[in-house]
Structure 1
Amino acid sequence: MTVLNTQRLRLEPCTDVHFEGLYALNSDPEVMRYITGKPDTPEDTKSMIDRVKARWADTGYSWWSFIDKENGQIIGAGCIQHLGRDAANPLEIGWRLRKDRWHQGFASEAAQCMASFAFETLKTKLLVAVCDPANTGSSRVMERLGMSYRGRERWYDMDTAVYQMNDRDWLARQV
């Protein structure tokens, strides 16, 4: 399982040792507002960790816990996974952060690192991201990453704004 590092964060594959921090994140109604529309129960978070561990074992990528290097706390989570959890679809990038870490550049920092992993390690040709159209904060992170708006599509049982970036666009931004 791949650990990634940024200037301020360590991205560790989600495991049972991250349960408390992930549950604190996923049980916050404001964090989950645009993701599932409801806070997670402890069982939801445990189930998520179990699914993620299986995906790491199967594919070599999935969800990471974002750990603040300064204090060791989990401040968020993010993923590279197949859109709609279907291997026939392109890779998707996603993230969520604790409320007290919003508007500090952590999502963009982690997204840049995860996108690098997708394009440079996994050699994906296309990376997509989806969000609730009202989630302007997440849309801004997608745009800062260099993704282009593709349109509205239905994913995860909701209408979403879809952004994308191909490998050529990624490489052009790295120069």
Structure 2
Amino acid sequence: MLVQTIHGRRAMETKRLYLREMTDADLPALCRILQDKDVMYAYAHAFSDAEAREWLDRQKARYKQYGFGLWAVILKTSGEMIGQCGVTVQDAGGRDALEVGYLFCRDAWGQGFASEAAQSCRDYAFRTLRADEVVSIIRDNNFPSMRVAVRNGMLPRGGFVKQYYGLSMPHIVFSISRSEWEALQKSAK
């Protein structure tokens, strides 16, 4: 993970990706993701234009408040925004936790981009934010996201039910502790 400035914005770089703060110019690409019912199945609905705008505004507010949020994931080879991934403060079943979250357009599925971006965000949370634990909160029917969490060194540690648009949605909390992450870093060398 390399944190640098690209086009005036702080960003991270992985082998194939740039992760940077989203701007208003990213709204069309973000809508392509958030308005695809297949991508958004874990949310039980595709977003409207207003919901997509609110989502982007929420990320921009997080950048100002915390210095982090969900970032645009840009494919190096094309400059295309293929998803979003980052660190946010979330309710993990009654406690605040730093969560690595990710959401990618369908064209990017199955190519390892989510794992690559999520690992970079996990490392950012431990190295830069000095987290003791990092979680990914995943709907119980979202098996591809669970696989990404496991590749990210996380294990299922509990669950809770979120109320969302009048629906009860069971979620599983995957997590990795600082000591587990440190052991993972040592074994990778």
Query: Given the two structures, how large is their TM-score scaled by the length of structure 1?
Result: 0.93
| Residue 5, structure 1, aligned to residue 16, structure 2 | no
What is the Cα deviation at residue 154 of structure 1? 2.2
> 1:131–1:156: structure 2 CA closer, same or farther, 3 Å change rule?
farther
**5+ long unaligned stretches in structure 2:** 1-8
Tell me, yes or no, if the aligned pair for 1:142 and 1:163 is still in contact at 8 Å: yes
Looking at structure 1, the residues matched to 163 and 27 of structure 2 have their Cα atoms a distance apart, in angstroms, of 23
| Residue 81, structure 1, aligned to residue 88, structure 2 | yes
Match of 2:35 in 1: 27
Among 16, 32, 41, the residue aligned to 2:24: 16
Secondary structure, aligned partner of 1:21: helix
Tell me, yes or no, if the aligned pair for 1:14 and 1:52 is still in contact at 8 Å: yes
- Structure having the higher strand fraction is 2
Match of 2:182 in 1: 171
Match of 1:112 in 2: 119
- Structure having the higher helix fraction is 1
Secondary structure, aligned partner of 2:39: helix
Among 61, 69, 82, the residue aligned to 2:76: 69
CA RMSD of aligned residues (A): 1.7
Identity of aligned residues (%): 32
Higher relative contact order (CA 8 A, sep 6+): 1
Which range is displaced more, 101-110 or 75-84?
Answer: 75-84
User: Which one has a bigger Cα radius of gyration?
Assistant: 2
Looking at structure 1, the residues matched to 26 and 55 of structure 2 have their Cα atoms a distance apart, in angstroms, of 11
Tell me, yes or no, if the aligned pair for 1:152 and 1:162 is still in contact at 8 Å: yes
Looking at structure 2, the residues matched to 12 and 128 of structure 1 have their Cα atoms a distance apart, in angstroms, of 21
Moved over 4 A (4+): none
Alpha-carbon displacement from aligned partner over 1:39-88 (angstroms, at most 9, x marks no partner): 11111111111111111001111110111111011111112111139xx6
**5+ long unaligned stretches in structure 1:** none
Tell me, yes or no, if the aligned pair for 1:84 and 1:155 is still in contact at 8 Å: no
What is the Cα deviation at residue 156 of structure 1? 5.6
Question: How many residues are matched?
Answer: 173
| Residue 161, structure 1, aligned to residue 168, structure 2 | no
Looking at structure 1, the residues matched to 73 and 125 of structure 2 have their Cα atoms a distance apart, in angstroms, of 17
Query: Given the two structures, how large is their TM-score scaled by the length of structure 2?
Result: 0.87
Secondary structure, aligned partner of 2:10: coil
Looking at structure 1, the residues matched to 97 and 184 of structure 2 have their Cα atoms a distance apart, in angstroms, of 20
Looking at structure 2, the residues matched to 40 and 90 of structure 1 have their Cα atoms a distance apart, in angstroms, of 25
Tell me, yes or no, if the aligned pair for 1:2 and 1:61 is still in contact at 8 Å: no
Which range is displaced more, 147-156 or 160-169?
Answer: 147-156
